[in-house]
Amino acid sequence: MKNLILMCAVFATVAMFSSCKKDYTCTCTFADGLGGTQTSISELTDAKKSDAEDACSALETAAQLADPDATCTLD
């Protein structure tokens, strides 16, 4: 019985600390310089959520070099 409880505790700990990887989409909207707007969609495949958030934030920073009002959202 003690072994079963120990194995369950180990499994729960591993499950809690393992990260789930999945596909994300980062959608950026920015002015095109001609009075219109452009939308850029970037697929972030097999990524942890924190890594996808960092990548989408970096894309937003890059877009804001051309258009300070550019925004990117992670889906």
CA distance 12 to 71: 38
* DSSP track, the chain: -HHHHHHHHHHHHHHHHSPPPEEEEEEEEEE-SSSSEEEEEEEEEEE-HHHHHHHHHHHHHHHHHH-TT-EEEE-
Mean pLDDT, to the nearest integer, of 55-66? 95
Q: Which two tokens stand for residue 50?
A: 């924190």
49 and 57 Cβ atoms separated by less than 8 Å: no
The per-residue pLDDT for 25 is 97
Model confidence over 4-55: pLDDT tens digits? 344 444 444 434 445 689 999 999 999 988 989 999 999 999 999 999 999 9
